[in-house]
Amino acid sequence: YPPPVPGTAPAPPAAPPAPGTAPAGAPVSLSKVTLTKEAPAVSLTKQGGTSGALRVNLNWQVHKQFQGWGQKLGRALALHGDLDLDLGCLFELADGSKGVVQALGNSFGSLHQPPFIHLDADDRTGARSSGENLTVNLDHKDAFRRILVFVTIYEGARSFANLHATVTLQPQFGAAVDFSLDECTVPSTVCALALITNNGGDLVVQREARYLVPDRGVSPQRTLDHAYGWGMNWTPGRK
């Protein structure tokens, strides 16, 4: 038999990529992370979300399928006209400064200077398909100590009953994080959605989904502040 011609031997088959890795040059596929009561927290840092814009979205729909009377009918009657939900957040920065980003009082924040958080234009009717959006500038993640994302009812309902809402946190880099709110069974006008904390450079998202019931004469924001020990002074505001 003639000797093999140099360079014509078949190449050995390429080894398959290791599980969880993408072939060189291919985009990395990151699965969405869904938070639950059983698994309520995730590290944005470990998911690759350490820079760029973090978009927090609240989207909702009113459940209109009612059966029977009694309590369900009472909840249905609590909804009237256009429903106006307001997304916002309390923030505490590493230097100790605290504040709120919300439509009330036109406190829309700023993305490129403290607090490095900005709220999109207020969705007064819920008609926009994108819902309400809050953006956090993760390029300044070291400036954050904690951020509490919340939603309040401005008008159109007396509680969150029969509102089906989904919260999505979409980092510019890394996997999206989402969760649904549980059914509301209390006369709540403010809901703590998620708590983002900076633990030594590790940004952790904690699902709260916590409905709060303000005492008579106490604002939803003050109620939220008290529940999470923010320690701010509040004055009446409007939008």
CATH number assigned to the domain comprising residue 58: 2.60.60.30
Asked whether residue 202 is domain-assigned, the answer is yes
Asked whether residue 76 is domain-assigned, the answer is yes
* Percentage of residues of the chain with pLDDT beyond 70: 74
Edge-first strand listing for the sheet containing 163-171: 33-34, 177-180, 163-171, 53-62, 132-137, 117-119, 109-110
- pLDDT score at 81: 52
Going by pLDDT thresholds of 50, 70 and 90, the confidence category of residue 178 is very high
> What is the domain extent for residue 155?
35-228
pLDDT in tens, 14-44: 444 343 333 343 344 467 899 999 999 999 9
Asked whether residue 86 is domain-assigned, the answer is yes
Peptide bond into 187 cis (omega under 30): no
pLDDT surpassing 80 at residue 12: no
Asked whether residue 213 is domain-assigned, the answer is yes
The number of domains in the chain is 1
pLDDT in tens, 101-138: 999 888 999 999 999 999 986 555 444 456 789 999 99
Asked whether residue 3 is domain-assigned, the answer is no
Query: Which residue has tokens 């951020």?
Result: 147
- pLDDT score at 239: 62
Which region among 15-24, 151-160, 181-190 has the lowest average model confidence (pLDDT)?
15-24
Q: Which residue has the higher pLDDT, 69 or 90?
A: 90
pLDDT surpassing 80 at residue 238: no
Q: Which residue has the higher pLDDT, 157 or 21?
A: 157
pLDDT surpassing 70 at residue 75: no
Asked whether residue 39 is domain-assigned, the answer is yes
For the chain, give the secondary structure using H, E and C: CCCCCCCCCCCCCCCCCCCCCCCCCCCCCCCCEECCCCCCEEECCCCCCCCCEEEEEEEEEECCCCCCCCHHHHHHHCCCCCCEEEEEEEEEECCCCEEEEECHHHECEECCCCCCEEECCCCCCCCCCCCEEEEEEHHHHHHEEEEEEEEEEEECCCCCCCEEEEEEEEECCCCCEEEECCCCCCCCCEEEEEEEEEECCEEEEEEEEEEECCCCCCCHHHHHHHHHCCCCCCCCCCC
DSSP β-bridge partners for residue 99: 91
Asked whether residue 196 is domain-assigned, the answer is yes
- pLDDT score at 155: 84
Tell me how far CA of residue 78 lies from CA of 71, 153, 158, 187, in angstroms.
Answer: 11, 12, 6, 10
Going by pLDDT thresholds of 50, 70 and 90, the confidence category of residue 9 is very low
Q: Which residue has the higher pLDDT, 68 or 158?
A: 158
Asked whether residue 53 is domain-assigned, the answer is yes
> Mean pLDDT of all residues in the chain?
80
pLDDT surpassing 80 at residue 4: no
